[in-house]
Amino acid sequence: MKEDRLDLLLHALCEESLGESERAELNDLLAASPEARVRYRRVMALHSTLLRKAAAPSYFEAPAESKTIPFRKGWLVAAAAVALLATGAAIFLTRPRGPIATILEAQGVAWTEGSASPQSGRVPVAVPLEFSRGFVKLGFPSGASVVLEGPCRFRLDEKEALSVLHGRASIHTPEGAQGFRIDTPGGRFVDLGTEFGLAVGNDGDAPVVLTEVFKGEVEIQANPQEKATRLTVGESRALVRESGKSTLLVALDESPVMLVNHTREFIPPTGEEGNLALGKPVFSPGYCTRAHGSVFPPDNLTDGRVNDSGVPGDWSFWLAPDGEDGEFTVDLLEPQSIGRITLQNTNNRGIGDRGTASFEAYGSLDNRSYFPLLTGELPRELADKGEAYPFHPFTFAPVEARYVKLVVTSHYRHDKRPSNHPCQGGGLNEIRIFSK
């Protein structure tokens, strides 16, 4: 028996890159040599131990902001195992180890530069993955499934465990799949046979995680060595990490925690074809900013994300400062012939204390002299959970313009709050601008 050859074959086995001919060769070595079988058992035992430690989620730590994807931990584990063992079960290898999670569907996904970009098949273990937009649906051997919405950073940890470092996730576990685990920078979530959603974001300094239970129960471990908290259907919490400790809150900014329109299945975007505003810069005299990642800048208006989606610190919509109607201006970067805009209103994630009621739109070539385009009204947004918000079209005689300014002239507020309550103001989810 050539020990260096056995080392290479065991290395490839741990790396999951063993071909059929090499697999047959390794089988022959194990069948012929008791020493090889002893060595095989020791390598596999050490490999399993190191892999568990390498994949252990650091869910009480904030995620690193670096987008550099490290080399595969499997290689490190295999190399360490082979290097540490000097000797080799009547265990024979007939086929590769099955995948512990697979991509069932990937729609409209833009993988971040430097990230692996699997479109289907098995998901690499202990490798951070990141995509900037789109949806990825993962399936697990137990039958559990997870829908991830970009922007999203995630990592597959082990057979029934996933870390979501940033982004939105919807988790469904059928009967018999209880115990499926989601780790986040704020805490651990254990599914007790249910369907629930997560929005993992931050407030600029520390993690903020929102969760809501759609069916069944979920268990939240906010801090190590503390008693877990159970949530049942209809309950929601914000998990805010401050000073090294996570705290569960029932409300943020005087409003209940909600995951309105949280993604459960992928719905392809429509109506973006020919949209001159997509990705263009937007500026505004002001926007709403509050604690725990409740920040709503104007560049959200042209980012292509709709339906009051996003996560704390990265919401998809714009809100005017407290108590103000607000205004904003889209820069198309060069003069364009425009004749139609479509607007998607907001209700601030189902809270119902914001939104545009009436507005005036203006055009300009130089951002100094503006001419009127139209006046209009938008209905209060009343979409139910899981429904897409409608876009409302407004047409006008085609004109040349580089800048499009929208001035909110009246806004919606919460029906059950006094008229002078500070949490009210104008807002809008998305603006699309077309040539005609």
- Domain containing residue 331: CATH number: 2.60.120.260
Looking at the predicted structure, is the pLDDT value of residue 265 above 80? no
Residues 153 and 229 in one domain: yes
Residues 65 and 135 in one domain: no
Is residue 301 a part of any domain in this protein?
yes
Is residue 210 a part of any domain in this protein?
yes
How much is the pLDDT for 218? 93
Is residue 271 a part of any domain in this protein?
no
- Domain containing residue 170: CATH number: 2.60.120.1440
Is residue 182 a part of any domain in this protein?
yes
Residues 382 and 303 in one domain: yes
Give residue 73's Cα distance to chain centre: 24
Is residue 266 within 8 Å of 135, Cβ to Cβ? yes
Half-sphere exposure of 316 (CA within 13 A, CB side): 27
Residues 415 and 340 in one domain: yes
Looking at the predicted structure, is the pLDDT value of residue 399 above 90? yes
Q: Average pLDDT for residues 123-152, to the nearest whole number?
A: 90
- Decide which of 301 and 82 is more confident: 301
Q: Where are the beta strands (DSSP E) in 345-391?
A: 356-364, 370-377
Residues 245 and 351 in one domain: no
Nearest to 350 by CA among 414, 295, 288, 287: 414
Residues 116 and 204 in one domain: yes
Residues 179 and 311 in one domain: no
Looking at the predicted structure, is the pLDDT value of residue 394 above 90? yes
Is residue 44 a part of any domain in this protein?
yes
Q: pLDDT band for 161, please (50, 70, 90 cuts).
A: confident
Q: Which of 256, 274, 294 finishes a domain?
A: 256
Give dist(CA 65, CA 130) in Å, integer: 11
How much is the pLDDT for 3? 47
Which residues lie closer than 8 Å to 287 by C-beta, 6 or more apart? 295, 296, 297, 298, 318, 319, 320, 321, 326
Give me the residues paired with residue 315 across strands.
310
Is residue 274 a part of any domain in this protein?
no
How much is the pLDDT for 26? 78
Tally of structural domains, the chain: 3
How much is the pLDDT for 58? 43
Residues above pLDDT 70, as percent of the chain: 79
- Decide which of 134 and 5 is more confident: 134
Q: What is the mean pLDDT of the chain?
A: 82
Q: What is the pLDDT of residues 37-95, one digit of tens each?
A: 777 766 666 655 444 334 444 443 444 443 333 433 343 334 444 444 433 333 344 43
Residues above pLDDT 90, as percent of the chain: 44
Looking at the predicted structure, is the pLDDT value of residue 313 above 60? yes
Is residue 275 a part of any domain in this protein?
no
Residues 152 and 214 in one domain: yes
Residues 77 and 133 in one domain: no
Q: Average pLDDT for residues 250-266, to the nearest whole number?
A: 66
Residues 290 and 242 in one domain: no
Q: pLDDT band for 267, please (50, 70, 90 cuts).
A: low
Tokens of 169: 């996730």
Residues 170 and 30 in one domain: no
Is residue 409 within 8 Å of 350, Cβ to Cβ? no
Give residue 252's Cα distance to chain centre: 20
- In three-state secondary structure terms, 37 is helix
Q: pLDDT band for 19, please (50, 70, 90 cuts).
A: low
How much is the pLDDT for 84? 40
- In three-state secondary structure terms, 49 is helix
Q: Which of 84, 111, 133 finishes a domain?
A: 84
How much is the pLDDT for 270? 66
- For 39, the domain range is 3-84
Is residue 208 a part of any domain in this protein?
yes
Q: pLDDT band for 261, please (50, 70, 90 cuts).
A: low
Residues 317 and 393 in one domain: yes
- By CB atoms closer than 10 A (0-12, 13-18, 19+), residue 94 is exposed
Q: Which of 22, 54, 84 finishes a domain?
A: 84
